Amino acid sequence: DFVMTQSPDSLAVSLGERATINCKSSQSVLYNSNNKNYLAWYQQRPGQPPKLLIYWASTRESGVPDRFSGSGSGTDFTLTISSLQAEDVAVYYCQQYFSPPLTFGGGTKVEIK
Amino acid sequence: EVQLVQSGAEVKKPGESLRISCQGSGYSFTTSWISWVRQMPGRGLEWMGRIDPSDSYTNYSPSFQGHVTISADKSISTAYLQWSSLKASDTAMYYCARHVDYSNPLDYWGQGTLVTVSS
């Protein structure tokens, strides 16, 4: 199974400042035939279901603000919130869909400093 | 608008059986898979398994194989997650989520069904 490891477990960022979350996969999620990374990011606000933010490691889902961006390839990925807003308080999860069973990172809790 | 609407919260005793549901609307139910995801209290997300509603073919995570059953009734655009004998450790929030196949992310999620198992 692919083991997804996120860091940090939590972070507190001031409003308007940058938040950076890391995700490392135990195996590459890059499919060489199409050069796509099978890596998604989800946001889970308190009391809500998860919401897809980014897929193919860097493609924003429709309607997701452009302050959210994803980067990385192979085994190392990053989710960046360029200017933290109050509504971004949530737990963020990475997930690989390269190979079943689908696996998630442990989550990173983002709070306001 | 794509929607996945799940059945309501359940309180059960250990050893009891349970089936929860997830009804899709706003899209052709048989053109996407439905996965089930567990979230234990204060914990992260765990993929349990998936079903292709067009033919009811299922795959399970090894961690859940034999403990739950996933099924679907395409005539009413509904997927199910079932237990034959609940344990206290099954207490969790359960989400259904849609994806086209394994090569695509979980793009729409249900609101969740809270299952509490307590004597």
What is the pLDDT, as a whole number, of residue B102? 82
Closest C-alpha among B34, B51, B57 to residue B110: B34
User: How do residues A7-47 score in pLDDT, each as one tens digit?
Assistant: 999 999 999 999 999 999 999 999 999 999 999 999 999 99
User: How do residues B102-117 score in pLDDT, each as one tens digit?
Assistant: 889 999 999 999 999 9
Sort out which chain B residues have CB atoms less than 8 A from A45's CB and list them. Answer: none
Which residues pair with residue A73 across a beta bridge?
A76
Give B 8-67 residues with CB within 8 A of chain A. 35, 37, 44-47, 59, 61-63
Work out the end-to-end distance of chain A between its first and last CA atoms, rounded to an integer number of angstroms.
36
What is the pLDDT, as a whole number, of residue B103? 87
Contact B24, B34 (CB under 8 A): yes
Subunit contact A101:B107, Cβ cutoff 8 A: no
Q: For chain A, give the number of residues.
A: 113
Per DSSP, the three-state class of B31 is helix
DSSP E strands, chain B: 3-6, 10-12, 18-25, 33-39, 46-52, 57-60, 69-73, 78-83, 92-99, 108-109, 113-117
Residue the block writes with tokens 């009891």? B16
Cα A82 to chain centroid distance, Å, stands at: 14
User: How do residues B52-93 score in pLDDT, each as one tens digit?
Assistant: 999 999 999 999 999 999 999 999 999 999 999 999 999 999
- Cα(B5)–Cα(A36) distance, rounded to whole angstroms? 31
Contact A69, A82 (CB under 8 A): yes
Is the pLDDT at A64 greater than 90? The verdict is yes
What is the pLDDT, as a whole number, of residue B104? 92
Per DSSP, the three-state class of B13 is coil
**Would you say the C-alpha torsion B2, B98, B29, B68 has a positive or negative sign?**
negative
CA atoms within 13 A on the CB side of B82: 10
What is the pLDDT, as a whole number, of residue B4? 98
Per-residue confidence band for A56, with pLDDT thresholds at 50, 70 and 90? very high
User: How do residues B35-46 score in pLDDT, each as one tens digit?
Assistant: 999 999 999 999
Is the pLDDT at B101 greater than 90? The verdict is no
Q: Which two tokens stand for residue B47?
A: 């993929």
- Tell me whether the omega of the peptide bond preceding residue A101 falls within 30 degrees of 0, making it cis: yes
Identify residues of A whose CB sits under 8 angstroms from chain B CBs.
1, 38, 40, 42, 44, 49-52, 55, 61, 93, 95, 97, 99-107
Contact A54, B105 (CB under 8 A): no
Sort out which chain B residues have CB atoms less than 8 A from A41's CB and list them. Answer: none
What is the percentage of chain A residues whose pLDDT exceeds 70?
Answer: 100
Sort out which chain A residues have CB atoms less than 8 A from B41's CB and list them. Answer: none
What is the pLDDT, as a whole number, of residue A51? 98
- Cα(B36)–Cα(B110) distance, rounded to whole angstroms? 10
